[in-house]
Amino acid sequence: MKIIHSIIELRSEIKKFKLLEKKIGFVPTMGALHEGHLSLARTAAKNQDVCVVSIFVNPTQFGKGEDYEKYPRTLELDAELLATIETETQKPLLVFAPTVSEMYPNDRYSLTISMPDLTNRFCGISRPGHFEGVALVVSKLFHIVEPDVAYFGQKDYQQTLVIKRLVSVLNFPIEIQVLPTLREPDGLAMSSRNAYLTAEERKIATVLFQVLSNIQANIQKGERSVSQLIQTAKQTITQFPQIQLDYLDVVNGDTLEPL
């Protein structure tokens, strides 16, 4: 497994595979890898000839006062985990771990990709500028890696819509695959940021999954009133003053428009 820090070197490695008509699967990440990330890498490696995993804590997608500085950076451990995928799948795996100056030499904020109908809601409100940063870095990574298929997690659902729009409008010749959310045994979605939780917060965090599962069960039982579904869910959440809710809604899965 190769760990590559420079764009030129990565391009030249990928070119060798492309000349052999190998299919490239790509998994962009910010590192601090867990089984959720690894499931994407495993699928990419199994279904394509070569797997490229990028590990880059992208400054442009963090807002002021967010956790950019304290975001966990564990490249050595991440590389060990990815090496196990390479062994398991017997497919070549390249890790791309650029520095900030490699990705943003001097033009960091000079291009904004904006799709307000998708991003002026939910995470886009709690994290202004976040999706613009994601769209920028993913565009750059797509141009650098030129994958055939790129893999994203359903956990970041709004992000998957942003990526699909990006690929469609900018004509990237890349197939986007969205894979299911991997969860801890008690239902909490795996996330690098779970490491921030205290033992008490970690216990309470499972309420989010319980609430989502209840909404699903109530829909399956025939409940059709969105306001009723949300009211019931919010009643559960308000029992936990430690939870500060950013948003909870039942919306159109393609447009995020309210139902």
The residues binding ligand AMP (CB under 6 A) are: 29-30, 36-37, 39-40, 152-153, 155-156, 181-182, 189-192
The question of whether 37 is a catalytic residue gets the answer: yes
Q: Least Å distance between CB 193 and ligand AMP? A: 8
CA angle 219, 221, 224 (to 5 degrees): 45
Q: Least Å distance between CB 238 and ligand AMP? A: 26
Cα–Cα distance measured from residue 39 to residue 208, given in angstroms and rounded to the nearest whole number: 22
Q: Can you say how many angstroms the Cα of residue 13 is from the centroid of all Cα atoms in its chain?
A: 25
The catalytic position among 34, 37, 130, 143 is 37
Q: Least Å distance between CB 20 and ligand AMP? A: 27
Q: Least Å distance between CB 53 and ligand AMP? A: 9
Four-residue CA torsion sign, 188, 194, 199, 200: negative
What is the CB-side half-sphere exposure of residue 172 using CA atoms within 13 A?
Answer: 23
Cα–Cα distance measured from residue 84 to residue 250, given in angstroms and rounded to the nearest whole number: 39
Q: Which is nearer to ligand AMP, 29 or 89 (CB)?
A: 29
Q: Which is nearer to ligand AMP, 89 or 192 (CB)?
A: 192
What residues act catalytically? 37
